[in-house]
Amino acid sequence: MKLYECPSCGATVYFSNSVCGNCGAHIAYTPEADAIVAAANTCSNRDSIGCNWVAGDPDEPLCHSCQMTDVVPDLSIDPNRALWAEGEAAKRWALATLARWGWFGPDDPGPLPSFHFKSERTRDGQAQVTMGHAEGVITLNVAEADDAIRVRNREMLDEEYRTMLGHLRHELAHFLFDRLSDAPRFTEAFRALFGDERADYGAALERHYAEGPPAGWRERHITPYASAHPHEDWAETVAHMMHLTDMVDSAVAVGIGWPSVYAPPADAYATTESDALIHVAVDLGLASNQLTRAMGLNDLYPFVLTDTVRDKLEFAHFWLNRRARMA
C-alpha cells in the first residue's frame, strides 16, 4: 500500500486514517482518485464501523466498498460489530489494491462481488457459517477477525498463514477466475498450467480433507490446500501474487531497501516484469523474516517458491495487471 498526503497540511497519512496525526484534520479516502481528501460526504458507516471512505453519488450514503456488502452479522450480539468492522477494513484494503490493477474500482465496467459477513453468534443461538465464493457472492465468518480464533483455526488446519485479508484475497481470486474465464486464451492456458478445473470439486475437497496433500505437493503448489483442486490452486496462487505485490509496494512507499538482483519497481502495480517483481518480493520476504525472528515472531512470508510455482505466479500476474498491459 502506498502512502498518502494530508490535504490540509501535507503530512504523510495512511490508507486507513480518518484523522491526520499531524494537524488533526478529518480526512477520507476516495477510490475514484485513489487519494486522501478532506472529510465531506463521508460513508454513512464512518461512525458505526470506522469506514474512512467517501460516500458514493449524492443519493448513495454508502461508499463504493460498503455498497458491495449485502449481509452483515447480527449486530445485537457482542462483539459482532467490532469483528465486522475488522472484516470491512480488510475488504477496503483488498479492494483498493486490486483497483490499482483495474479490478473492482469505480471505473471497472464488469460485475462486482457481493459480500456476506456472517457470524456464528446470533440472537437465536449458534449458526453454522461456511466461508467461500459462489456465483459472485463471497461469504466470510467474522470470527476470523478474532485473533484467538484465527490462531486456533490456523493451528488446527496446519496452515502457515491465516488472516482476514488473506481470506478476502483468496475468495476474490475465485471471482476473478469467473471474470477472466470469458477472456480469449485464458481457459486453455490455465488448464495447461493448473489442470482441468472441470474435475469434480466436491470429490476433490473430500479427498483432500481425508488424505491430505499428495506426496511431492511442494514442487507444484504454493500451499497444501492449493493441491486440492485447480480452482484452489488458482485462488491460493493469485492471493499470494496479491500479497507479494503489496509487500513490495509498501516497502518502496516507506523507503525500505533490501538486497536483490533486481531493482524494486517504482510502482509495483504498474510493472509488467513479472519475473523481476516476484524475485524482488521473495528477497523482501527473506529480509523481513529476519526482522520478525528478531522479535521472536513467526516469519512474515514463510513460503518456498519452486520454479513451477513461480511460473503459476507469473501467469497470475499477467492476467491480474490488466491496466498495465493495456496501457
Q: What is the pLDDT of residues 163-221, one digit of tens each?
A: 999 999 999 999 999 999 988 899 999 999 999 999 999 999 999 999 999 999 999 99
The overall average pLDDT reported for the chain is 93
Domain coordinates in residue numbering, the chain: 1-60, 65-161, 181-327
pLDDT at residue 162, rounded to an integer: 78
Strands 27-30 and 12-13, by their bridges, are unpaired
What three-state secondary structure class fits 236?
helix
Q: How far apart are CA 168 and CA 159, in angstroms?
A: 16
Q: What is the mean pLDDT of residues 256-272?
A: 95
The model's confidence at residue 103, banded by pLDDT at 50, 70 and 90, is: very high
Q: Which helix (H) or strand (E) holds 27?
A: strand 27-30
What pLDDT does 154 receive?
Answer: 74
Give the closest residue to 167 by CA, choosing from 107, 270, 103, 83.
83
Tens-place pLDDT, residues 115-134: 999 998 888 888 889 899 99
pTM over 0.85: yes
pLDDT at 327: 55
Residue 157 has pLDDT above 80, yes or no: no
Could you tell me what percent of the chain has a pLDDT over 70?
99
Residue 48 pLDDT level (bands cut at 50, 70, 90) = very high
